Amino acid sequence: MNIVLLGPPGSGKGTQGQLLAQTFGLVQLSTGDLFRQILQDPSHPLYDSLQVIKEGKLVSDEIVNAVVEDALIKLKDAKGVIFDGFPRTVAQAEALDRMLNSMGKKVEVVLDFDVTKDVLLHRLLGRRVCSSCKRVFHIKQGYTECPECQGQLTIREDDNEEVIIKRFGEYNQKSAGVKEYYLNADCAYIRLFVDDPDISAEEVNKWIIQELSKRGLVQ
């Protein structure tokens, strides 16, 4: 099963992607994580092209598609892939269909995270990420280190208010077309509305699994 997660920054798609990947034995492919990894290596050929990330702008479709294609080839034997942060434009959605088609696969499920702006800001400004296992936490949980692997908890460079506002703008501008693309595609489109800042990741995960089973997509 291949799943696309759509949603603005802070909507919880990364966290839900991790939970779904664990539950169903799928592989999560996060373009943001792939890019942040590349940005740690100044000698990487894409290092300069990826500097736009620090300003909250989108990376070009050409680069994103090439990075994803490369990653997908390595994942050809996976039971399924959860796409987190990709596609973000219609051109990327079309490219993903081409890549999957050529492997005899398709996007089966789209999860659209529709989360109010207040909830998004609250989450992003308090977000802490484990530098080692990449799990995501919130400052309100009070951890001084990752409770899973004791890694260091860090603040993402683009999680500051100015850059967050830009990322929202970019998302809103580009996402409408992607949503329409998938609403017209042959896949299950599941919309998740969140306006409660205190809803737990576990509650959201339960809801998603219920929706997937209602449609006969999981047992």
* Residues of the shown chain interacting with ligand ADP in the complex, contacts defined by CB under 6 A: 9, 31-32, 35, 53, 56-59, 64, 85-86, 88, 92, 158, 167
Annotated active-site residue in 36, 57, 156, 179: 156
215 has catalytic annotation: no
- Residue 17, burial from CB neighbour count under 10 angstroms (0-12, 13-18, 19+): buried
Question: Rounded to the nearest whole angstrom, what is the least distance from the CB of residue 216 to ligand ADP in the complex?
Answer: 30
- 123 has catalytic annotation: no
**CA of residue 91 relative to chain centroid, distance:** 17
Q: Which is nearer to ligand ADP, 59 or 111 (CB)?
A: 59
Q: Residue 167 catalytic?
A: yes
Q: Spell out the residues 6+ positions from residue 27 whose beta carbon is closer than 8 angstroms to its own.
A: 21, 75, 78, 79, 80, 81, 82
CB of 95 to ligand ADP, least distance (A): 10
Minimum distance of ligand ADP from residue 60's CB (angstroms): 7
Q: Which is nearer to ligand ADP, 126 or 218 (CB)?
A: 126
Q: Which is nearer to ligand ADP, 170 or 217 (CB)?
A: 170
Beta strands, E only, the chain: 3-6, 27-30, 81-84, 109-115, 127-130, 136-138, 153-154, 188-194
Residue of closest CB approach to ligand ADP: 32
Supply the minimum distance, in Å, between the C-beta of residue 54 and ligand ADP: 8
Under DSSP, is residue 90 helix (H, G, I), strand (E, B) or coil? Answer: helix
Which of these is catalytic: 76, 79, 127, 166?
A: 127
Which amino acid would we find at residue 156?
R
Of the pair 56, 212, the CB lying nearest ligand ADP is at 56
**Smallest separation (angstroms) from ligand ADP to the CB of 131:** 14
Contacts of 168 (CB under 8 A, 6+ apart): 8, 9, 117, 120
Task: Establish whether 206 is a catalytic residue.
Answer: no
Looking at the Cβ atoms of 26 and 35, the one nearer to ligand ADP is 35
For the question of residue 135 being annotated catalytic, the response is no
**Cα–Cα nearest to 171, from 125, 128, 112:** 112
In three-state form (DSSP H/G/I as H, E/B as E, the rest C), the secondary structure along 17-62 is HHHHHHHHCCEEEEHHHHHHHHCCCCCCCCCCHHHHHHHCCCCCHH
Catalytic residues: 13, 88, 127, 156, 167
